[in-house]
Amino acid sequence: MNEWIGTTDVRIEEPTVVAIGKFDGEHMGHRKILERMKKIAEEEGIATAVFTFGTPPSAVVGGAPKEQINTNAERREKLREAGIDYIVEYPFTPEIASMTGEEFVLDVLLKKMNMQAIVAGPDCAFGKNRSGNAALLEAMGPKYGFRTLIIRKEQDGGRDISSTYIREELRNGNIEKANQLLGYEWSLEGTVTRGNHIGGSLLGFPTVNLEVPGGKLMPRYGVYGTIVELEDGTKVRGITNIGDNPTVQNDRLNHRVRIESFLLDYTGDLYDTKIRIRFLHFIRPEMKFRSLQELKEQISRDIALLEEKSVDI
């Protein structure tokens, strides 16, 4: 595995089959492209390479950047797990923003990435004013000696599987549907921080609080059945609340999204350790309770609902 992150100084010596795109979520549609790449690489004895940007282009050229299903670090992790040989996460510089689609193919994909073949979707777009597309790749291939394979979109019930589709499902709290489209369980990961200190002391449930990762899409506010993976590899069932915690007021934590998980069958100090929270089921929307006792009773009901579901950890 070789990676170029945040630099334009890219040079791949061996021939490659390339895929380009945001790869946000690395969902079932992306996997179809990656699997086809790997098959071509095996057949032709060449390496696999993915080109993507470290910063969404819309964030640089004046548009509103979309929150990401996965952070850049999570995207790289998924590509590593997929067995990709080279990852190029390019900075979106003024120079590359001004490149035409043809210049991008010549100067980046051919010159820097030694592309011998490219796998893309029918709606691929690159270069200034989206001047590069599938038709351009097919036209340039014979002239410059690379092979182009355009892969039909993976579909779900007649709709293309896309990052946009998955974002919609996450924002609606349809976590099970989002997981189906992703092909794995959507997750949050980070370092455990100190919260309101009411979980163990007042509610009787051990809790962990997670800082919201910057740029990461948050699903619908509410309570979810989750699996919490600890730094030592231990997996613990839990219920996780995402929202602004309207029942508990604390000036130090107000005005930001909070992620708090109540852990089942676990005791221990997790402060400053890294965890991953895998989201399995939507239990209920976030609610405001008149007292901590009401909140405690509702958490007990949430746990009972979670325990009715068969959860494989």
CATH number, residue 241: 2.40.30.30
Number of folded domains in the chain? 2
| Per-residue pLDDT, 49 | 98
| Per-residue pLDDT, 222 | 94
Q: Are 156 and 216 part of one and the same domain?
A: no
| Per-residue pLDDT, 201 | 45
Q: Are 154 and 9 part of one and the same domain?
A: yes
Q: Are 191 and 156 part of one and the same domain?
A: no
Looking at 160, 195, 211, the residue that finishes a domain is 160
Distance separating alpha carbons of residues 91 and 178, to the nearest angstrom: 29
Q: Are 113 and 213 part of one and the same domain?
A: no
| Per-residue pLDDT, 102 | 98
Between helix 163-171 and helix 175-182 the angle, nearest 10°, is 160
| Per-residue pLDDT, 252 | 44
Helix (H, G, I), strand (E, B) or coil at 128: helix
Q: Are 6 and 150 part of one and the same domain?
A: yes
Looking at 121, 143, 160, the residue that finishes a domain is 160
| Per-residue pLDDT, 132 | 96
Domain-located, residue 19: yes
Task: Kindly report the backbone phi and psi dihedral angles of residue 111, in degrees, each rounded to the nearest multiple of 5, phi listed first.
Answer: -70, -45
Q: Are 226 and 126 part of one and the same domain?
A: no
Domain-located, residue 171: no
Q: Are 219 and 132 part of one and the same domain?
A: no
CATH of the domain at 147: 3.40.50.620
- The model's pTM is 0.88
Q: Are 154 and 204 part of one and the same domain?
A: no
Domain-located, residue 137: yes
Can you give the residue range of the structural domain that contains 44? 2-160
Q: Are 61 and 137 part of one and the same domain?
A: yes
| Per-residue pLDDT, 43 | 96
Q: Is residue 37 within 8 Å of residue 19, measured between CB atoms?
A: yes
Q: Going from the first residue of the chain to its last (313 residues), give the mean pLDDT of each consecutive group of 10, the final group possibly shorter.
A: 92 97 93 96 97 72 70 94 96 92 98 98 93 97 97 94 96 97 95 65 70 85 94 92 70 65 85 93 85 78 76 65
Looking at 160, 175, 202, the residue that finishes a domain is 160
Q: Is residue 19 within 8 Å of residue 33, measured between CB atoms?
A: yes
Q: Are 146 and 191 part of one and the same domain?
A: no
Q: Are 138 and 257 part of one and the same domain?
A: no
Handedness of CA 149, 154, 159, 162 (dihedral sign): negative
Q: Are 196 and 239 part of one and the same domain?
A: yes
